[in-house]
Amino acid sequence: MIVDCAFYKDGARQHDRPMSIAEAAARADAGEGFIWLGIREPTDEEMREIEAAFPVHELAIEDARSEHQRAKLEEYETHYFVVLRTARYDDATEDLDFGEIHIFAGPGYAITVRHGEASALAPARQRLEERPELMEAGPVSVVWAVLDVVVDDYEPVVAGLTEDVEDAEVRVFAGRGDQTERIYSLKREVIEFYRAVHPLLAPLAAIERGADPRVTTEIQNYFRDVNDHVKLVHDEITAQRELLTSILEANLAVLGVRQNEISVAQNETSKQLTLVATIFLPLSFIVGFFGMNFGWMVDHISSFWTFAVFGVLSLFASCVGIFAWFRRAGYL
């Protein structure tokens, strides 16, 4: 779906009415100014029209038809092809939603293709239209404007991830249950975010060094500012990855200590039960022995004193013997 299509000349938008892809291509071929065509979730028909109307490479068109491309900046003979990964953090679910923006930037045209949860490009267009001196740099100014919006949207993501990582750290050392699953989930999100940001460092560094003659000195300063923001985000993500690794190790250590405490408590319980069973073992034997109804016992154990000596005293002697054994062995 075409979101907006405008022709810019001398740093200003030249019309307000809608423009078709064919008309936009004709304006681009005229050699004056440039057009900015914005498309969201393009259909196959729209991509075929773009391929037929603009001198874009077939491999770039193939990549732009779908999502799940890595962030990159590729340079063909006549144009750039830029892939930017957008990010939006949902703090309630601690999920990181990614989208993509593909940019074709060549002589007389800039085409932006949005997929998924992509950053809104209306602010980028408005910001660029308010800076005619930057727009005079041509289609490369669109690359800067889009990149600037995408990188600005990274900052809330970094803040949300930092807050959740610190919360996970507090919960680990406070002993609030097993945080392993949450830590792994955060680590997976941070790694995915790292893959969106890290590939931007090299091409932005090259632009900052002046390696691209199509980037004017005026707009090169703005690319340098974007590069500074990308480096800051990259450093934060790298620190979060390292911190999550340390938190995971600490979580496993805490779980190990807790498991040892449980094992010690279980061993102590088993020891106490064993002592009780050991005490009752000889007592049960004596009571069972004298409880047998043999004739000799019936005839000879008939008085109270005989019962007291053979029965009660033997039980008492067994208890004293077991107590002395436990004391000597260090069980008591």
The pLDDT, as a whole number, for residue 298 is: 63
User: Is residue 104 within 8 Å of 79, Cβ to Cβ?
Assistant: yes
For residue 43, the SS3 value is: coil
Residue 153 and residue 233 in contact, taking contact as beta carbons nearer than 8 Å: no
Residues near 235 by beta carbon (within 8 Å), at least 6 away in sequence = none
144-153 residue pLDDT tens: 999 999 999 9
Structure tokens at 328: 């000597």
**Count of positions (residues) in the chain:** 332
List all residues 6 or more positions away from 72 whose beta carbon is below 8 Å from its beta carbon.
81, 82, 83, 199, 203
Q: Is the pLDDT of residue 295 over 80?
A: no
Domain ranges of the chain: 2-256, 291-332
pLDDT tens for residues 44-56? Answer: 888 888 888 888 8
Looking at residue 327, what is its pLDDT?
A: 77
Q: How far apart are CA 99 and CA 315, in angstroms?
A: 82
Q: Hey, how many other C-beta atoms are within 10 angstroms of the C-beta on 142?
A: 31
What residue type is assigned to position 60 of the chain?
A: A
| pLDDT tens digits, 155-164 | 999 999 999 9
CB atoms within 10 A of CB 285: 12
CA distance 261 to 213: 67
pLDDT of residue 240: 92
233-286 pLDDT per residue, tens: 999 999 999 999 998 888 888 877 777 777 878 887 887 777 777 777 777 777
> Which pLDDT value is given to residue 83?
92
pLDDT interval class at 190 (50, 70, 90): very high
Q: Distance between CA 187 and CA 251 in Å, rounded? A: 14
State whether residue 168 is helix, strand or coil: helix
Q: Are 104 and 80 in contact (CB under 8 A)?
A: yes
Output Rg (C-alpha) for the chain, integer angstroms: 39
pLDDT tens readout for residues 305-323:
776 776 777 777 787 787 7
Beta bridge partners of 167: none
> CA-CA distances (angstroms) from residue 58 to 65, 76, 141, 203, 290?
11, 11, 24, 22, 101
How far the first Cα of the chain sits from its last, in Å, is 83
Percent of the chain scored above 70 by pLDDT? 93
* 229 band by pLDDT with thresholds 50, 70 and 90: very high
pLDDT number for residue 177? 77
**Hey, is 179 helix, strand or coil?**
coil
Whether residue 20 is predicted with pLDDT greater than 80 in this model: the reply is yes
Q: What is the pLDDT, as a whole number, of residue 235?
A: 94
Question: CA-to-CA distance for 130 and 119, rounded, in angstroms?
Answer: 19
What pLDDT is recorded for position 198? 92
Token pair recorded at residue 312: 């009660």
Percent of the chain surpassing pLDDT 90: 22
Which tens digit of pLDDT belongs to each residue from 57-71?
888 888 888 777 888
The fold adopted by the segment(s) 2-256 is Beta Polymerase; domain 2 (3.30.460)
Q: Per-residue pLDDT for 191 more than 70?
A: yes
What CA–CA distance (Å, rounded) separates 330 from 271? 12
Q: Is the confidence at residue 175, as pLDDT, over 80?
A: no
Give the integer Cα–Cα distance in Å for 295 and 201. Answer: 101
* Dihedral sign (CA 102, 104, 109, 110): positive
Q: How confident is the model at residue 225 (pLDDT cuts 50, 70, 90)?
A: very high
Look at residue 300 and tell me whether its pLDDT is greater than 70.
no
Give me the pLDDT at residue 104, please. Answer: 92
- Give the bridge partners for 9, in sequence order: 12
